[in-house]
Amino acid sequence: MKSPFNWRRTVLGLAAAGLIGQCSAFSFGAEDAVVIAPPALDETTQAHSEIAVFAGGCFWGVQGVFQHVKGVKKAVSGYAGGAANTARYERVSEGDTGHAESVEVTFDPTQVSYGTLLQIYFSVAHNPTELNRQGPDSGTQYRSAIFVENSEQQRVAQAYIAQLDAAHSFNKPIVTKLETYNGFYPAEEEHQDFLTEHPTYPYIVINDLPKVAQLKQLYPNRYQEKPVLVKAGM
Cite the active site residues. 58
Cα(19)–Cα(47) distance, rounded to whole angstroms?
51
Q: How far apart are CA 91 and CA 95, in angstroms?
A: 8
Neighbours of 44 (CB within 10 A): 10
Alpha helix positions (H), 29-150: 59-66, 89-92, 114-120
- Contact between 112 and 222 under an 8 Å Cβ cutoff? The reply is yes
Residue 164 near residue 195 (C-beta atoms within 8 A): no
In 127-189, which residue ranges form alpha helices assigned H by DSSP? 151-166
